[in-house]
Chains A and B, each alone.
Chain A
């Protein structure tokens, strides 16, 4: 190729603008955050001497509980999002082509309204005198009934992970607003389109005649769905999980507006420490913890994907080898 600009020079010229920008405003700040965790904080809101006191403080107060609560809620939200978006992705992909685009557009349309406004609209919907409050009380009664019916070790386990509590429900005191359920509900509402979209993209490429073949061979509808469709859109499911899990870990507006004092997550704690108490080392340490809780599942996903690819490749190799030897014999 007769490029008049020298290739090396051209590469630097096109790389530098974004590279320098992200280095300055993404990589360097991340390192500063990491460095601040190894400092003590000063009473006037500054950053003091190098020390390990911040990390030691993290064990002591209620931080581990908050981290655990954030991860648990993120799992709950991800679970509901995936459960709801699987049939949705299937249903959209089975629509006639013209309708697919319309329904996919309709799913994204709520995003044209500001996120804060939508969350606030939920706040009015969850008003203690509204009909959702009645639904919530019924839900609490039913879950209490299910809980009583469970074997003792499961009850203990649920209490231990913080999924259930041993206290009885008081209809006068349990409001859906300012509760963990409100946070889960509105988080599912907010992130559901992010789960449907990647799954739908994967489902659109899925060959539906496979499902018919499975049914012809005697599989029931649900069995075919579980054994053929779900593995078929595996990639879409993984990206949907990440698209929901990561922002929920970092979510802070929803718990702040709807969670009350019952539902303080890492995001809220970071905000409190950074903006209200001016304890910058603590805020940095919490941010580092949050980054770790995002990177661990992400690393698992990447590892799993690599393993799957290796396995697929090996299976293909085995099959070709088998075919080839078969041909020779």
Chain B
């Protein structure tokens, strides 16, 4: 229909052209969830057609078990871990809970004095909230380790903390790469420091696995979380890769599956699909990382040029070299996170959504109410500026046309959001 706009004060009717919804959806929220790889989808459907509980002893059970164990072996090979170190879970959040609670319980059982839990201030809520729960319910002392302006862990703070309290620390949990601002953490250094004090280290690598080269063995980590749907696999499956001598105390009790660390019937089809997805992601990774870093850099450069007050949050990528030298990458190749001073993130989100562009504010919300990002606040970003945040995350289906669509919409969107601004709060 014809869209007319009536000016509030003058009563004059003026016609404002409405931006037409683009023919194709621009999906730039791959860090929230990314499309399943066609091969993973096909493998999943194929397994779903078959009946068989991998714990059953009969033929169909044995067939399912074979799929699970082959998947486990392949996952281990892909991540440079032993098959027996791969504990399949119902996703990243469950794996993080198992790591944080399971290691804490195991360590305090061995030595009741070890009650300190060190986590970075920019962890995902799947790590922060179990830690907070341990503090509330189990008497843990949780320490939030500070980060620098780019979101990188302050190793000096970790070192000082361990020097003073190393003997009473149960575990350290630092994410491999940040889900909001893409910061890659110095995992090797963290592990080296913590191990000096005999403290195990867990890393939430949900955003890293499939996007950066990850070797569990050479990282030295004691436990590492990853999730299916962030790398082309299905939602509802993930894994905790954990050293066998860690003595993880289970969170879920029941049938004793997954060497009694994680009870519950193993999802054969999901395990298969996760494996296929990771295999494809790693095969494509070297070329894909360079391609996505190129899209990211184009979007960041374009946004900075087109919109006054657009600020990149997280580390400045080291040009294309950052993508080529993946082992030294400081930022996730597919992550662009920007703040726009004077805007509300939800206004920006709506205006882009109405133009067919899907992205995210990057931070958690409570029943839909956007909260100021704890990640940005930990980086020292002004709370008002933190409110106008947008995260664009690229993936396998992203193209130059997506970047162009964002850059063409952004100036008007930011202008409108600024007009709607924080004044209405």
* A and B together in one complex: no
Write the residues of chain A forming the contact surface with B, with a CB cutoff of 8 angstroms: none
